[in-house]
Amino acid sequence: MRLEPIDKPSLARSLLPPVTALGATVAIASFLAMLAGANPFSVFGLILNGAFGSKFAILETLNRATPLIFTGLAVAVAFRAKFWNIGAEAQLYAGALLTVLLGTGLLPWPSIAILPTLALFSILAGAILLLVPALLKTRFGVDEVVTTLLFNFIFLLFVSMLLEGPLKDPMGMGWPKSARLLPEARLPRLVDGLRLHWGFGLAILSAISVWVVQSRMTLGYEMRAVGLNRQAAAFAGIPVNLVLVKTALLSGGLAALAGFSEVAGLKGSLTLDLSPGFGYTGIIVAMLALLHPLGVIFAALFVAGIFVGADSMSRAADVPTYLADIMLATALLLMVLAIMLTRFRIVRN
């Protein structure tokens, strides 16, 4: 068999594969829920209800989506230029680390001054952390997939070292936990009385900014060109390595904002379980969004909804929460396949 590009895909061609992929994901998850002895209909009802069924549930989903929008954007920006940043997890912690380093008493400033400073330094930390793999790639030809992946392990150990050493909160009852942020360094609530912070607003703003960069600015054009064909881009006079480095800085900075927003908006201090793999989930978010920055917002809401919904489903129906991870991994694989099938037809030979 081989694949043949379709010039003008029909409406059915564009819709059928993604819809089938979604249906197959649900079918597989239903089967697995039945293995756990649960009724699949009630499982999906519980997931939906747990994610969007009440005001509390919706706010929880929005809160969970916030870091995923940042990491999803980080991955989308990088993957667009075919720069494989799998290290959003480490960059997230870099942002979180800078937030607690500067926000727990070092800068006794009012909110209006300290919050932008913290955000800026977080961005810088994430950008610099990803700059290393980017330079290793452009200077020495070292594959960035492995270096960014390994950086996740190295940086988490580094954070663990600091949390058990110099950053350890003396009031923390012996837990490896940083001191709490100053009240001025906390992101305010988006709406008074609702448990949703300005990190969400910042995430939406970031998505729009990335979209503007990608669709309206030269850098966005260059990033796309480098992603499509590196040789052709170089031939057209685009400084490929410089574009890759800029992409890395942008991507690392975006991922770091996830750490800033989680610490300053939600947790108030840094612990080693700040992120349950937001960096890795960002890859799923970005792919489901087809790497489109505005699509990332919706994909993040979808993914966050599944996680939040699965948490409450698991408590009610006694099905392991890992069902959510399986669903997302399946959706990721089937969706990439489906998107390809909207543009190619399979020919037997």
Does residue number 141 form part of the binding site for another protein (CB under 8 A)?
yes
| Smallest separation, CB 122 to another protein (Å) | 22
- Residues 246 and 251: their CA atoms lie apart, in Å, by 9
Residue of the chain from 11, 110, 140, 237 that contacts another protein (CB under 8 A): 140
Residue the block writes with tokens 């699509």: 295
Does residue number 337 form part of the binding site for another protein (CB under 8 A)?
yes
Cα maximum dimension of the chain? 71
- Residues 321 and 42: their CA atoms lie apart, in Å, by 15
Does residue number 287 form part of the binding site for another protein (CB under 8 A)?
yes
* Contact range with another protein by CB under 8 A, out of 49-57, 220-228, 238-246, 278-286: 278-286
Query: Is the Cβ of residue 4 or residue 192 nearer to another protein in the bound state?
Result: 4
Query: Is the Cβ of residue 170 or residue 193 nearer to another protein in the bound state?
Result: 170
Residue the block writes with tokens 């129906």: 317
Residue of the chain from 84, 198, 260, 278 that contacts another protein (CB under 8 A): 84
The burial class, CB within 10 Å (0-12 / 13-18 / 19+), for 342 is middle
Does residue number 7 form part of the binding site for another protein (CB under 8 A)?
no
Query: Is the Cβ of residue 32 or residue 245 nearer to another protein in the bound state?
Result: 32
The H-or-E segment that residue 15 falls in is helix 11-35
Q: What's the one-letter identity of residue 194?
A: L
| Smallest separation, CB 280 to another protein (Å) | 7
Does residue number 212 form part of the binding site for another protein (CB under 8 A)?
no
How many other C-beta atoms lie within 10 A of the C-beta of residue 337? 14
- Residues 246 and 85: their CA atoms lie apart, in Å, by 13
- Residues 64 and 2: their CA atoms lie apart, in Å, by 41
Does residue number 150 form part of the binding site for another protein (CB under 8 A)?
yes
Does residue number 154 form part of the binding site for another protein (CB under 8 A)?
yes
Q: What's the one-letter identity of residue 266?
A: L
Contacts of residue 310, Cβ cutoff 8 Å, sequence gap at least 6: 47, 50, 321, 323, 324, 327
Query: Is the Cβ of residue 36 or residue 316 nearer to another protein in the bound state?
Result: 36
Which residues would be at the binding site for another protein (CB under 8 A)?
1-3, 32, 35-36, 84, 86, 136, 140-143, 145-147, 149-151, 153-154, 157-158, 160-161, 164-165, 280, 283-284, 287, 320, 322-323, 325-326, 328-330, 332-333, 336-337, 340, 349
